[in-house]
Amino acid sequence: MRRLRNVKIVATLGPASSDYEMIRKLHEAGADVFRLNMSHGSHDEIRERHAIIRQIEVDLNSPIGILADLQGPKLRVGVFAGDEEELVAGAEFRLDLDSAEGDANRVNLPHPEIFAALEPGAHLLVNDGKIRLKVKDCGKDYANCIVITGGTISNRKGVNVPDVVLPLAALSEKDRKDLEFVCQLGVDWLALSFVQRPEDVLEARELCKGRAAILSKIEKPAGVKAFNEILEVSDGIMVARGDLGVELPVQNVPPIQKRLIRKCRAAAKPVIVATQMLESMIESPMPTRAEVSDVATAIYEGADAIMLSAESAAGSYPVEAVTTMHNVAMEVESDPTYREVIEASRTAKRTSIADGIVAAAREIAETTDIKAICCFTQKGTTALLVARERPRVPILALTSSLSTARRLALLWGTNTVQVGVLERFKEAVVSAARAAREGGYATTTDQIVVTAGVPFNTSGTTNILRVAPCDERLIYATDPG
C-alpha cells in the first residue's frame, strides 16, 4: 500500500482497536506500524492482535511493522490506611521499607534500590510529578523528605527519581517473559523502556538473539545524558516526551527532542516521536491547534515516525486520529519550507563507499527527472542510508526478506516490496523497473536510480549505482548480457 507521505504513523492497539475491521481501517487510514503495549493486555490478547495484523498484511499485500513495547520496571508507593492522604507543602514525609499501611506522615516504598541510590537534595516525583518531594536525609531503608509541591497521594502511585541513575535493570522479570513471548510470536521491533545506559540495550539484544530490532525509549534524564552511547548500540530510538516531561522541566523537552532527532538522522537510525501527540482526540473528534502544531513540528524536524498511544488504543475516535495525523503530514510535506528545513539539517558524515553511493543517488534524483530511488537491501542497511539523505523522490526498498520489509515500514519515505532472490545486477534493475511501474511511481517513459551491492545477497556491500529506464526492453537493449 503506497503512501504519498514520508513520515510514518505508529498506532497503538487496545480495547478500542482490537478486531479485524478496526485494525484494517487504521491501516487503510494511514497506520504503517502497530504498537502492542505489553503494559496492557494478556498474552492471549497480544497473540490475537498480532494474528489479525498478519492477516491484514496478507489480504492487502502490504508489509506491516509490529512494535512490541515492554513495560519496564514500575516504581510505586505502597497503600494507605485511608486509601489516600493530602500532603501539604513544607511538611515532612517519610518513605521507607516498612510494609505497614501509610498515613499523612509516611508510606512504604518497596524499592531498596531507590534508597541505595538516593542522596540528600535529590528529588522524588509522585503521580506523574504532581507531588514533588526533596530528600532531607536518607539511609538504606528510608528517606526523610520535605514536601515541595503538595497534593493528594493515594495507593500505588508511580514514583520517578530524576536526579540519580538507579541500579535497576531495564528488564524486569515480567519484561523477560514478555520479550521471549513476542520474539517467538514474530514481532519486528522491540521497544525497551527505562533505558539509562547502553548496557540496558545490550542485555535486551542478547536475549533477542536477532529476532527483533531493538528500539530504545528515551524517557529518563540518564538516558538523555548517555544518549550517544545508547544510540550506538540501538537499532532505533523513541523520544518518549511524557516521562521526559515529568522528570525534566517541561521547557527542556522540545530542544532535547530536536537534538535527538538530528543525532538519529545522522546515524541513519529511525526515530519515533511519541506521547500526547493528539491527546484530546481520546474524547474529541477534533484535535486542538496546539496538538496539530506539535505533530507538524516533529515532521518538520525529520522524524521517521509519529505515534498515537491512547488515542488509537482506548479513545473514541481511533480512525479519526490516524486520519488527522495523515492529513497534517500531507500538508506539512507539501510546504516548500519543509524541504528547506529538511535539507538544511542534513548532517551526515560520509565515510564509506555505501555512503557515497546513496548520496550520489540522491543528488542525481534531485538534479534530473528521476521518479524514484530503488535500493536492494538484504538487512535494511542500504535503505537506512538512503532514507538518511531524505531525498525528494520516493524510496523503493526491494528485499527478498519479509522480516526486513516489515522492519522498514518504520523508515522515513520508504516503501517496501518483497522480491525473489536475485543473482545478477541486470535482474535487479529489471525487478526495480517493474516494481516502480506496478507501484505507480513511474511509467515506461520515466527513469529511476537503482542501487545495490555486488555480490548479491551479501549484507553491507552497497557499491553500485545505475540510472535506468523503466521500460524493460530498453534495459535489455542497453545491457544484452
Q: What is the DSSP string of 186-204?
A: T-SEEEE-S--SHHHHHHH
Fold observed for domain 84-160: M1 Pyruvate Kinase; Domain 3 (2.40.33)
Element (H, E) at 156: none
38 φ, ψ to 5°?
-75, -5
pLDDT computed for residue 242 by the predictor: 87
pLDDT computed for residue 385 by the predictor: 94
SS (H, E, C) 81-123: CCCEEEECCCCEEEEECCCCCECCCEEECCCHHHHHHCCCCCE
Contact 33, 409 (CB under 8 A): yes
Q: In whole angstroms, what is the distance from residue 212 CA to residue 403 CA?
A: 9
Residue type (1 letter), 320: E
Angle at alpha carbon of residue 13, lines to 7 and 15, rounded to 5°:
150
* Domain 8-72+169-334 CATH superfamily: Phosphoenolpyruvate-binding domains (3.20.20.60)
| pLDDT per residue as tens, the chain (481 positions) | 789 999 999 999 999 999 999 999 999 999 999 999 999 989 999 999 999 999 999 999 999 999 999 999 889 999 999 999 999 999 999 999 999 999 999 999 999 999 999 999 999 999 989 999 999 999 999 999 999 999 999 999 999 999 888 888 889 999 999 999 999 999 999 999 999 999 999 999 999 999 999 999 999 999 999 999 999 999 999 999 988 989 899 999 999 999 999 999 999 999 999 999 999 999 999 999 999 999 999 999 999 999 999 999 999 999 999 999 999 999 999 999 999 999 998 876 778 899 999 999 999 999 999 999 999 998 999 999 999 999 999 999 999 999 999 999 999 999 999 998 887 888 889 999 999 999 999 999 999 999 988 777 666 678 899 999 998 878 777 764 4
Contact 203, 171 (CB under 8 A): yes
Q: Which three cell numbers, joined as nine digits, stand for 46? A: 497480544
Q: In whole angstroms, what is the distance from residue 207 CA to residue 151 CA?
A: 41
Which residue, among 214, 303, 287, 215, has the nearest Cα to 254 in the 3D structure? 303
Domain ranges of the chain: 8-72+169-334, 84-160, 353-478
8-72+169-334 matches 84-160 in fold: no
pTM, entire model:
0.93
Catalytic residues: 35, 76, 217, 275
H helices of 211-301, where?
A: 221-225, 227-233, 241-247, 253-266, 289-300
DSSP letter string, 348-416: PPP-SHHHHHHHHHHHHHHHTTEEEEEEE-SSSHHHHHHHHT--SS-EEEEES-HHHHHHGGGSTTEEE
Contact 120, 137 (CB under 8 A): yes
CB atoms within 10 A of CB 323: 17
CATH 3.20.20.70 assigned to domain 353-478? The reply is no
Q: In whole angstroms, what is the distance from residue 180 CA to residue 385 CA?
A: 30
Q: In whole angstroms, what is the distance from residue 309 CA to residue 328 CA?
A: 17
Q: In whole angstroms, what is the distance from residue 229 CA to residue 214 CA?
A: 14
Q: In whole angstroms, what is the distance from residue 157 CA to residue 76 CA?
A: 5
167 φ, ψ to 5°?
-75, 60
Q: Which three cell numbers, joined as nine digits, stand for 213? A: 530490532
